[in-house]
Amino acid sequence: MTEPSLIFWAECVAWAVLISGMVHAALYAFLLLVAATGFFERTSERDSTRLARKQDADLPTVSIIAPAFNEVETVVDSVRALLRQHYRDYDVIVVNDGSTDATLEVLLDAFDLHRRVDQVPTHPLIRAVFVSDVYGLTVIDKANGGKGDALNAGISIATSKLFCAIDVDSVLEPDALLRAVRPFLDDSRTVAVAGTVRVGNGCPMRKGHVLHAELPRQLLPLIQTVEYLRAFLIARYAWSRLGALMIVSGAFGVFDRERVLAAGGYRTDTVGEDAELIVRLHRIGRDEKRPALIRFVPEPVCWTQAPTRLRDLSTQRRRWQRGALETISLHRQMIINPRYGNAGWLGLGSMALIDVLSPALEVAGYLAAFVLAVLGAISWSIFFALFAVVSAFGFLLSAAAIALEEVEIRRFSDRSASLQLLGAAFIENFGYRQISNLWRLHGCWDHLRKHRGWGQMTRAPFAT
pLDDT per residue as tens digits for the range 52-63: 555 566 799 999
Q: Contact 319/271 with Cβ under 8 angstroms?
A: yes
Q: What is the pLDDT of residues 200-231, one digit of tens each?
A: 888 887 766 788 888 999 999 999 999 999 99
Q: Contact 304/197 with Cβ under 8 angstroms?
A: yes
d(CA 325, CA 332): 10
Q: What is the pLDDT of residues 252-268, one digit of tens each?
A: 999 999 999 999 999 99
The CA-atom distances, in angstroms, between 336 and each of 241, 349, 353 are 19, 6, 11
pLDDT bin (cut points 50, 70, 90) of residue 181 is very high
Ranges for all domains in the chain classified under CATH 3.90.550.10: 61-162
Of the candidate ranges 127-136, 388-397, 450-459, the one whose mean pLDDT is the lowest: 450-459
pLDDT bin (cut points 50, 70, 90) of residue 73 is confident
For every residue of 68-123, DSSP letters joined together read ESS-TTTHHHHHHHHTT-S-SSEEEEEEEES-SSSHHHHHHHHTTEEE-TTPPP-S
Of residues 291 and 165, more confidence is placed in 165
pLDDT at site 41: 77
d(CA 196, CA 400): 17
For every residue of 149-174, DSSP letters joined together read HHHHHHHHH--SSEEEEE-TT-EE-T
User: No. of H helices and E strands in the chain?
Assistant: 18, 12
Amino acid at 303: W
pLDDT bin (cut points 50, 70, 90) of residue 162 is very high
d(CA 154, CA 168): 13
Of the candidate ranges 55-59, 64-68, 113-117, 266-270, the one whose mean pLDDT is the lowest: 55-59
pLDDT bin (cut points 50, 70, 90) of residue 20 is low
pTM: 0.90
Residue 47 has pLDDT above 60, yes or no: no
Residue range 61-162 forms a domain whose CATH class is: alpha beta
Q: What is the pLDDT of residues 76-93, one digit of tens each?
A: 888 988 998 889 899 999
Work out whether strand 113-115 and strand 190-199 pair parallel, antiparallel, or are unpaired. Answer: unpaired
Q: What is the pLDDT of residues 315-359, one digit of tens each?
A: 999 999 999 999 999 999 999 888 999 998 889 988 888 877 788
Average pLDDT, the chain: 86
pLDDT at site 58: 77
Residue 141 has pLDDT above 90, yes or no: yes
Q: Contact 24/353 with Cβ under 8 angstroms?
A: yes
